[in-house]
Each structure stands twice: as structure tokens, then as C-alpha cells.
Amino acid sequence: MSTKSRLLELLEQNRGKYLSGNELAKMLDVSRTAVWKGMKSLQQEGYSITAVTNKGYLLEEDNNILSEEAVRLQLKNTEVLVEVWKEIASTNQRMKQLAVEKRLPHGSVVVAQLQTEGKGRKGRKFYSPKDSGLYLSVLLYPEKTAQKSLEITAAAAVAVCKAVENCCGVSLGIKWVNDLYLENKKVCGILTEAVTDFETGDIEFVVVGIGLNLYEPTGGFPKELKEKAGAILPDGQKVDKNKLVGELVNQLLLETEKSGIPQEYISRNIVPGKKIQIIFGETKREVIAKEILSDGKLLAINEKDEEEIFPSGDVSV
């Protein structure tokens, strides 16, 4: 770990409190000049660090820069890989690449503030602009035998709802299968990708990708998304991004440890009672959603006025 990174960790642990240069130099076993240089470099990166003679250095409470050090402080299991990127093609792609190269701990996370090739479900793109969103991917090694993909997907949706509620004070609804909605607008998409062993077909690992629209992007959402996409928070309402990432990972690990479809997945679902379109490739079916069953499948009334069960699908409400 570099001196700068260790300094940041100490500042984050003592947010809002002064730490003297001497104290820091002793704790890190480096010179005071090294401390001063590290602080200068952090300030240049945008960290709100106040330096006062005879008092030392203080990281301001409202500092809201995402960092590996600050995310790690929020995690229940700190022995994981944490990567934070200002810009990346896709966090899911990065996480998969890392997990193929070597076995990383369960719960490792890659976070980005901007994705240039954000991936959505069904090969679509996920609009991932700078500053207004949060994009992350978490690595999981599910119990091969028991956990089905629908369970992981449902657990992920519930975990995100809980984390957003705890950190932003906003209650989201789930649109089957796993889009998260606020007031009829999609505010979060989840993409779960499993990598399987070619020979046995067993799941080797799963990457859960979460894309949150925290705020409305500067200049608004692009034309093609305007009708459907929304933001979790109004402009100007702050949320601690490091805390939110930590909470998302912690909740995801908790929820995916449980077996079965969480009751909350069913109770938060917004489709029951609605006329919906289920899209499978080129085919569109118009049905009335009746209920989400205990195994996570959708029971609907089809075009022939008969009950039909849908295991999965792309829904438009």
C-alpha cells in the first residue's frame, strides 16, 4: 500500500477530525515531508483536506470522492478486492476478466463513475454517464447445487432496494424480473452474468452488475430514455457514495446467502394487476400480470383468458 493510500485510509477513519503531521508520520513510519507530499497529491485529486498549522490535517465531512480505501471501510468483509475507476468500459466486463485470471474473494467489487460501454440485459447498452450514476459489479461464488439464477437475481433486486432505502431514504419497487422503479420510472438496472465450466456446466462464478441513476444527468436523459428513465434523488440531495457502495455489497452478500425467493421480492413487485407486454426476442405477448409466485415466476392471464406461468422475460408496463 502506498503512503498516499495509507494516509487516505487514516483520514477516512477519522473524518472531520484533525490528525497532526507528526502523528501521521509516526503511524506510517515515514517523514513529515512524505506526509505533506501525500496530502498535496490527495488535495490535487480533489479531496477536501484542510491543513491548519499546529492542528494538522482534516478530511472534511462532506468530501464525497469514491475511493478504494473509503469503500473498504464500509464493508463487512474487508478481505476482498476493491477497484474504483473514474472511467471504464464496463465494470461487469472488468470483474469477469479479473475473476477468470485468478480466484478472487467472494464479494470483490469493481466500481466506476462512468462507463463507456455499459452492458444491459439482452445485449442492450446501459447509459452510464459521469457524476449522475453509480456503476458497480460484485463477484459471487454461489452454492452450485442450490442457487438458481432466478434466486440470485431476486436477491440482488431486494439487496439494492434495502441499500438504497438505508442510504438514500427512498423506497423502490421491483418490476419483474429485476428492474427497479421509482414513480413509474426505471432508476436501476441489474445484470447478472454467470460464467460456467465448459465441461461440467457448473457455475464457476457470478457477476452481479448494478447500475443506479442517482441523479438526473446534466442536460437530462437522452431522447430515447426520457420517457422511461428516472433518478433516485433530486438534484442537490447528497448521498455518501462510498457508504452506498459498501451497503450495496453488504446487502447483496446477506441476501444471496439466503435460499429461496425473498418475500420482499414478491411484496415489492409492481407488475401484479397491470396489463403488461412480455417480450421474447421478436415476439411480444400482451398479458395481465396476476402474481409473482413463490419460486419467482410470473403468473399471468394470457390472451386466451387462461392462466399461464412465465419463468422469465422482458417486461414493459
- The yes or no reply on residue 142 touching ligand BTN (CB under 6 A) is no
Distance CA 277, CA 289 (A): 9
Q: Which residue among 21, 107, 118, 262 contacts ligand BTN (CB under 6 A)?
A: 118
Q: Which residue among 126, 176, 215, 221 contacts ligand BTN (CB under 6 A)?
A: 126
SS3 172: coil
Q: Which stretch binds ligand BTN (CB under 6 A): 117-125, 140-148, 167-175, 278-286?
A: 117-125
Q: 27: part of which helix (H) or strand (E)?
A: helix 21-28
Q: Which stretch binds ligand BTN (CB under 6 A): 6-14, 96-104, 119-127, 257-265?
A: 119-127
Site string for ligand BTN, 51-90 (x = CB under 6 A): ---------------------------------------x
Label residue 220 exposed, middle or buried (CB < 10 Å: 0-12, 13-18, 19+).
Answer: exposed
Residue 10 cell numbers, joined:
487514516
Whose cell is 431522447? That residue is: 223
- The nearer residue to ligand BTN, 63 or 137, going by C-beta atoms, is 137
Q: Which residue among 40, 55, 124, 275 contacts ligand BTN (CB under 6 A)?
A: 124
Is the CB of residue 236 less than 8 Å from the CB of residue 228?
A: no
- The nearer residue to ligand BTN, 190 or 276, going by C-beta atoms, is 190
C-beta atoms surrounding 24 within 10 Å: 24
- The yes or no reply on residue 37 touching ligand BTN (CB under 6 A) is no
SS3 225: helix
Q: Residues in contact with ligand BTN, total (CB under 6 A)?
A: 21
Apex 101 CA angle, 191 and 251, nearest 5? 40
Q: What is the layout of strands, in order, in the sheet containing 298-301? A: 307-310, 298-301, 283-292, 275-280, 314-316
Distance CA 178, CA 147 (A): 17
Site string for ligand BTN, 160-199 (x = CB under 6 A): -------------------x---------xxx--------
Q: Residue 103 Cβ, how far from ligand BTN at the closest point, in Å?
A: 21
- The yes or no reply on residue 115 touching ligand BTN (CB under 6 A) is yes
User: CA distances (Å), 254 to each of 140, 159, 229, 248, 251, in order?
Assistant: 12, 8, 28, 10, 5
- The nearer residue to ligand BTN, 179 or 240, going by C-beta atoms, is 179
- The nearer residue to ligand BTN, 225 or 254, going by C-beta atoms, is 225
Residue, CB closest to ligand BTN: 189
Distance CA 202, CA 293 (A): 26
- The yes or no reply on residue 125 touching ligand BTN (CB under 6 A) is no
Q: 226: part of which helix (H) or strand (E)?
A: helix 223-226
Q: Which residue among 72, 119, 241, 297 contacts ligand BTN (CB under 6 A)?
A: 119
- The yes or no reply on residue 139 touching ligand BTN (CB under 6 A) is no
Q: Which stretch binds ligand BTN (CB under 6 A): 124-132, 146-154, 262-270, 294-302?
A: 124-132
Whose cell is 457470478? That residue is: 206
Distance CA 213, CA 235 (A): 12
Query: Between residue 199 and residue 258, which ones bind ligand BTN under the rule CB under 6 A?
Result: 209-211
> Could you write out the three-class secondary structure of 262-276?
CHHHHHCECCCCCEE
Q: Residue 28 Cβ, how far from ligand BTN at the closest point, in Å?
A: 34
Footprint on this chain of ligand BTN (rule: CB under 6 A): 90-92, 115, 118-121, 124, 126, 128, 135-137, 179, 189-191, 209-211
